[in-house]
């Protein structure tokens, strides 16, 4: 009997609910202050408390007899870092090499470019920024502290005043359009890319700015920020779907060339802005479950078309693990 485990935040409820629905035992590793919250959910068999994220792998070493499979999510990238989150320490659903690329925006850019996907320009030199830009930090920080600039003079001034210091960041062309987050899943056992859902984000304060008159906006001298607060569902024009699937397939194919191994598998999300001429520009890729999938614990319109039963991304992960166990192919979907 396998236990599916994860760090208790981000999309842990969805992951563990899905695991329970597929018949697994479930375990959450939670900060002590959150233990009682996670204990209220009947589908979590065990909640282990830790006083800080730095104690994560230490807690795991005590659980080594459990036949555990860890499912990573955004908090692994944001809070655990390379040492604590390293897959060498436990059996882990996903390809660690790919997850490392997620934390490095330049490598991400090369990968997506090599998949034939449109990307906003990146300016290494602020002097070369001949159009509006957005400055973004590395790692899954949920868009906090980003800033946009109208031109290079604006950008130079902002870089001086915001003083990113030693933080790693990129300067990217700002794309005007609709942000759309494509939630995919690549199944190793079924050998297919699936679209499980699409969402948009509520970001603060940028989604609040339009609620006040423009005269007040300029008086208040607001600079936009992109801190994620939540997500909302969206369905796409059906005529865009073939292109969405083509992009997903290309990304999986090129990931194999990039890592020289199994490449990308399991859940991933292409974060795009779609322009008025219906072009998708990828601004980022997440190579694991994204929190926007929490919308679809009961399934999305797209997962319903594929499965005809409630299929969240969390449940899809557990289904993949279950099928791999049945087919004796577990090694193919654990850390490569
Ligand atoms: P949390 O556990 O909520 O602090 O989130 C862990 C990481 O995932 C942080 O970097 C968050 O910014 C990011 N995150 C959490 N929820 C979402 C969301 N709904 N959409 C995008 N990113 C998120
Ligand atoms: P990210 O952390 O890259 O997912 O970006 C967070 C948010 O910033 C996105 O959801 C978009 O709203 C916005 N954003 C990021 N990059 C761009 C871009 N190049 N053009 C327009 N908006 C962007």
pLDDT beneath 50, residues of the chain: 140
Pocket test for ligand 1, best of 8, 30, 291, 296 (most atoms within 8 A of CB): 291
Which residue lies with its CA nearest to atom 12 of ligand 1? 142
Q: Which two tokens stand for residue 75?
A: 């908090």
Say if CB 171 and CB 162 are below 8 A apart. no
State the closest ligand 2 atom to the C-alpha of 173, by its place in the atom list counted from 1: 19
For residues 68 and 183, give the distance between their C-alpha atoms in angstroms, rounded to a whole number: 26
Q: Write down the pLDDT at residue 166.
A: 61
Say if CB 318 and CB 18 are below 8 A apart. yes
State the closest ligand 1 atom to the C-alpha of 78, by its place in the atom list counted from 1: 10
Residues whose beta carbon lies within 6 Å of some atom of ligand 1? 9-10, 74-75, 78, 140-142, 201, 228, 230-231, 291-292
For residues 256 and 262, give the distance between their C-alpha atoms in angstroms, rounded to a whole number: 6
> If you measure from the C-alpha of residue 302 to the centroid of ligand 2, how many angstroms do you get, rounded to a whole number?
24
- Strand partners of residue 73: 289
Say if CB 184 and CB 316 are below 8 A apart. no
Residue 178 makes CB contacts below 8 A (sequence gap 6+) with: 200, 273, 274
Which residue lies with its CA nearest to atom 18 of ligand 1? 291
SS3 of 120-175: CCECCCHHHCCCCEEEEECCCCCCCCCEEECCHHHHHHHHHHHCCCCCCEEEEECC
State the closest ligand 1 atom to the C-alpha of 144, by its place in the atom list counted from 1: 12
Q: Which two tokens stand for residue 268?
A: 């991933």
Pocket test for ligand 1, best of 31, 140, 181 (most atoms within 8 A of CB): 140
Q: Write down the pLDDT at residue 143.
A: 63
Ligand nearest 229 Cα, by number? 1
Q: How many CB atoms lie within 10 A of CB 290?
A: 26
- Residue 94 Ramachandran class (φ > 0 left, ψ -120 to 50 alpha, else beta): left
State the closest ligand 1 atom to the C-alpha of 141, by its place in the atom list counted from 1: 10
SS3 of 263-322: CCCEEEEEEEEECCCCCEEEEEEECCECHHHHHHCCCCHHHHHHHCCCCCHHHHHHHHHH
Ligand nearest 134 Cα, by number? 2
Residues whose beta carbon lies within 6 Å of some atom of ligand 2? 120, 134, 136, 143, 146, 172-175, 179, 201, 203, 226, 271, 273, 283-284
Q: Write down the pLDDT at residue 140.
A: 46
What is the radius of gyration, based on Cα positions, of the chain?
20
Residue 252 makes CB contacts below 8 A (sequence gap 6+) with: 186, 193, 263, 264, 265
The pTM of the full predicted model, rounded to 2 decimals, is 0.91
244-263: pLDDT as tens digits: 999 999 999 999 888 877 89
For residues 18 and 28, give the distance between their C-alpha atoms in angstroms, rounded to a whole number: 13
Q: Write down the pLDDT at residue 81.
A: 66
Ligand nearest 295 Cα, by number? 1
């Amino acid at each position: 009997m396998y236990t599916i485990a994860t760090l208790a935040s981000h999309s842990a409820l969805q992951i563990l609910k899905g695991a329970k629905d597929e018949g697994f035992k479930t375990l959450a590793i939670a900060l002590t202050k959150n233990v009682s919250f996670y204990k209220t959910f009947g589908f979590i068999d065990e909640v282990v408390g830790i006083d800080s994220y730095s104690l994560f792998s230490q807690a795991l070493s005590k659980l080594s007899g459990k036949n555990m499979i860890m499912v990573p999510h955004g908090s692994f990238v944001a809070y655990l870092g390379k040492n604590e989150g390293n897959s060498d320490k436990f059996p882990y659903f996903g390809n660690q090499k790919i997850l490392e690329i997620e934390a490095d925006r330049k490598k991400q850019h090369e990968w997506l470019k090599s998949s034939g996907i449109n990307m906003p320009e990146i300016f290494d030199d602020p002097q070369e920024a001949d159009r509006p830009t957005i400055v973004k930090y590395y790692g899954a920080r949920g868009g906090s502290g980003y800033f946009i600039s109208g031109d290079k003079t604006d950008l130079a001034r902002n870089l001086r005043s915001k003083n990113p210091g030693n933080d790693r960041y990129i300067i990217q062309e700002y794309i005007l359009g609709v942000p759309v987050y494509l939630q995919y899943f690549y199944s190793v056992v079924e050998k297919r890319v699936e679209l499980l859902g699409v969402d948009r984000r509520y970001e603060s304060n940028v989604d609040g700015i339009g609620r006040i008159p423009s005269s007040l906006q300029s008086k208040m001298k607001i600079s936009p920020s992109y801190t994620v607060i939540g997500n909302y569902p969206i369905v796409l024009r059906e005529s865009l779907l073939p292109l969405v699937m083509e992009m997903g397939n290309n990304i999986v194919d090129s990931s194999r060339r990039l890592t020289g191994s199994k490449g990308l598998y399991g859940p991933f999300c292409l974060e795009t802005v779609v322009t008025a001429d219906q072009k998708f520009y990828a601004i980022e890729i997440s190579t694991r479950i994204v929190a926007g999938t929490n919308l679809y614990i009961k399934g999305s319109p797209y997962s319903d078309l594929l499965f005809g039963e409630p299929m969240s991304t969390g449940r899809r992960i557990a289904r993949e693990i279950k099928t791999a166990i049945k087919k004796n192919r577990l090694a193919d979907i654990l850390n490569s």
